[in-house]
Amino acid sequence: MRVTCHVNGEQRFADDVWPGESLLHVLRERMGLPGAKNACEQGECGSCTVLLDGVAVCACLVAAGQAEGRDVVTVEGLADGDALDPVQQAFLDAGAVQCGFCTPGLVVAVHDLLERDASPSEADVREALAGNLCRCTGYEKILDAVRLASGRAGGTP
Ligand code: FES
Ligand code: FES
């Protein structure tokens, strides 16, 4: 089947999508968008987080057909040309990236959180990111990045 959706501001389609194929697979393998990572494919790690109609979801758990006609934003869609999204910049500045495998999903999740609440409490940050696993950083630098992004946006976490 053909799946057509709006991805990072553009109308995109993929042909010959099989019914059980995930949105993550379509994004990565058919649309040339490898930013969302494929780690567990079970909804456990958050590395594949994208926004679907503005809601953060694990793209590995979304059937591609469910994205028909909907709006998808991946980590590639957050930057404005060469200008990084403020959350991406905060991750760099805080040293919150090691191997980087978890980073795209975390950036999308933090972006989503700060869109909803520019000044989240520490508990709210931890809860919002509970589904995003990182095996490298010990999370402290990631929390620093969230504080940095929030502070730069005018929040006071
Ligand atoms: S790859 Fe989707 S949650 Fe891990
Ligand atoms: S930086 Fe390596 S998994 Fe998070």
For the stretch 29-50, pLDDT in tens is 999 999 999 999 999 999 999 9
Determine the Cα–Cα distance for residues 103 and 13; give it in Å rounded to an integer. 26
Ligand nearest to the CA of 46: 1
Share of the chain above pLDDT 70, in %: 98
User: From the CA of 130, how far away is ligand 1's center (Å)?
Assistant: 13
Ligand nearest to the CA of 133: 2
Residues with pLDDT less than 50, the chain: none
Cross-strand bridge partners of residue 51? 56, 73
Residue 156 has a pLDDT of 56
**C-alpha 103: how far from its chain's center?**
8
Q: Mean pLDDT of all residues in the chain?
A: 95
Q: Is the CB of 45 under 6 A from ligand 1?
A: yes
- Give the contacts of 94 (CB within 8 A, at least 6 positions apart): 141, 142, 144, 145, 148
Determine the Cα–Cα distance for residues 113 and 105; give it in Å rounded to an integer. 12
Report the nearest atom of ligand 1 relative to the CA of 61. Answer: 2
